[in-house]
């Protein structure tokens, strides 16, 4: 079995398909022969990766708020998926301070509603809950968090992602442990790449600054993050869900997996913007630590991908320099053509590495 052989002809529902990661995943799975549908509250940004890839004319999308159980259940039932990737979320730390109720409602109760909907659709073979590497209780030490480390979070966003994971585990133990539907959770963060236009994210802020002819304002230059191109974790998600659905020897249901880069890709924000300055003509930045006043944002975070490697052979593919090159290229020219080309190139690489086929 390989990715194309597995996804060809499958009906795949992606919640949050109008977001940055959801749009890239939609395009990739469609290229593998899947029929891709989506469930999202709205198109969250302008510009938008989703719109630049053809939007709802390309991907059948139900515009539903996952905080509404009845509407969510109806949308899932109407699409009749074989597979579900639950990516819909309130994904921003700073916005979680401004609107904690929406953050908790979307990330926790929204996950409850999606999993409740999945329970009512017998065609669903496997469902992935995508949370974040921010779900761990972060002590900011030089230690890569593993899947069995303690969950937690000081800010509303991080804590709500720990809540997402608790909901996932509770629903597995209570409802899916003896079900034919497999459920998994995936944890990744600090994903970059063309098409991300979210507010308060470092790469989009840099691109907007260049286009406005102004220096970007950097809030936390010493913060270290595990930067990875968007295709890295998405490949892991796609492989893990396929393996869970087809592995007759090992039960994958209830398992959680981290997807992160090698240690050398964990760079400071300062190093990231320096790399942007080298590769992005006209870019400059200033540092304003006061912009983070009153907000908690972790200065150091790493996750271990050892479990993903042990279970499915997954490992990072792109070095930091190439990650930055692909990211910069994604903000110029024909975005849809860029996505198509990078998906094809990346899939060729992971097939050559051996972990995207042959199971």
pLDDT at 355: 86
pLDDT at 65: 99
> DSSP secondary structure string, 133-189?
GGGB-----S--B-TTSPB--SSHHHHHHHHHHHHHHHHIIIIITTSSSEEEEEE--
Given this model, what pLDDT does residue 36 score? Answer: 99
Residue 298 located in a structural domain: yes
pLDDT of residue 164: 99
What band does 85 get if pLDDT is binned at 50, 70 and 90?
very high
| Angstrom distances, CA of residue 14 to CA of 11, 114, 182, 237 | 10, 11, 16, 12
pLDDT digits (tens, 9 = 90+) for 135-145: 999 998 888 99
Question: pLDDT (tens digit, 9 = 90+) per residue, 107-131?
Answer: 999 999 999 999 999 999 999 999 9
Q: Give 233-264 pLDDT, tens digit per residue.
A: 999 999 999 999 999 999 999 999 999 999 98
Q: How high is the mean pLDDT of the chain?
A: 95
CA distances from 43 to 17, 23, 39, 95 (A): 9, 11, 11, 17
Residue 358 in domain: no
Q: pLDDT per residue over 202-221, tens digit each?
A: 999 999 999 999 999 998 89
Counting the structural domains of the chain, the total is 1
CATH number at residue 50: 3.40.50.720
Judged against a pLDDT cut of 80, whether residue 358 lies above it is answered with no
The DSSP line for 33-72 is T-EEEEEESS--SSS-HHHHTTHHHHSEEEE--TT-HHHH
Domain that holds residue 51: 3-353
With a cut of 80, say whether residue 279 has pLDDT above it.
Answer: no
For residue 182, is it within any domain?
yes
Query: For 11-52, what is each residue's pLDDT tens digit?
Result: 999 999 999 999 999 999 999 999 999 999 999 999 999 999
Angle at the Cα of 56 (from 37 to 235), degrees rounded to 5?
A: 50
The alpha-carbon radius of gyration of the chain (Å, integer) is: 19
- Residue 334 covered by a domain: yes
Most confident of 140-144, 270-274, 299-303: 270-274
Whether 198 maps to a domain, the answer reads yes
Q: What is the largest CA-CA distance in the chain?
A: 57
Residue 359 maps to a domain: no
Among residues of the chain, what percentage have pLDDT more than 70?
97
146 in a structural domain: yes
Rounded alpha-carbon distances, angstroms, from residue 65 to 17, 41, 103, 107, 359: 13, 5, 13, 11, 37
């Amino acid at each position: 079995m390989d990715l194309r052989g597995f996804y060809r002809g499958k009906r795949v529902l992606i919640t949050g398909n109008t977001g940055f990661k959801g749009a890239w995943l939609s395009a990739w799975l469609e290229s593998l022969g899947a029929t891709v549908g989506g469930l999202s509250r709205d198109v969250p940004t302008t510009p938008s990766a989703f719109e630049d890839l053809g939007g709802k004319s390309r991907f059948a999308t139900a515009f539903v708020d996952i905080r509404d159980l009845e509407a969510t259940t109806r949308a899932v039932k109407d699409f009749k998926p074989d597979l579900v990737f639950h990516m819909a979320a309130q994904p921003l730390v700073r916005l979680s301070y401004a609107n904690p109720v929406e953050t908790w409602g979307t990330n926790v109760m929204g996950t409850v509603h999606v999993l409740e909907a999945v329970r009512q659709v017998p065609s669903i073979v496997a469902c992935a809950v995508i949370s974040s590497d921010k779900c761990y209780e972060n002590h900011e030490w030089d230690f890569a968090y593993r899947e069995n480390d303690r969950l937690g979070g000081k800010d509303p966003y991080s804590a709500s992602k720990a809540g997402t994971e608790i909901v996932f585990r509770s629903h597995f133990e209570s409802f899916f442990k003896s079900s034919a539907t497999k459920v998994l959770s995936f944890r990744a963060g600090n994903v970059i790449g063309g098409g991300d236009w979210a507010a308060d994210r470092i790469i989009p802020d840099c691109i907007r600054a260049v286009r406005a002819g102004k220096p970007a304002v950097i809030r936390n230059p010493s913060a270290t993050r595990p930067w990875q191109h968007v295709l890295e974790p998405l490949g892991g998600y796609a492989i893990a869900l396929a393996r869970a659905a087809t592995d007759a020897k090992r039960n994958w249901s209830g398992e959680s997996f981290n997807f992160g880069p090698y240690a050398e890709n964990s760079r400071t924000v300062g190093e990231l913007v320096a790399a942007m300055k080298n590769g992005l003509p006209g870019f400059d930045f200033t540092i304003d630590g006061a912009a983070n006043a009153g907000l908690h944002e972790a200065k150091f975070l790493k996750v271990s991908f050892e479990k993903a490697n042990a279970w499915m052979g997954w490992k990072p593919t792109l070095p930091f320099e190439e990650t930055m090159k692909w990211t910069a290229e994604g903000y110029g020219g024909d975005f849809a053509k860029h996505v198509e080309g990078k998906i094809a190139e990346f899939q060729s690489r992971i097939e050559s590495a051996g972990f995207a086929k042959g199971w």
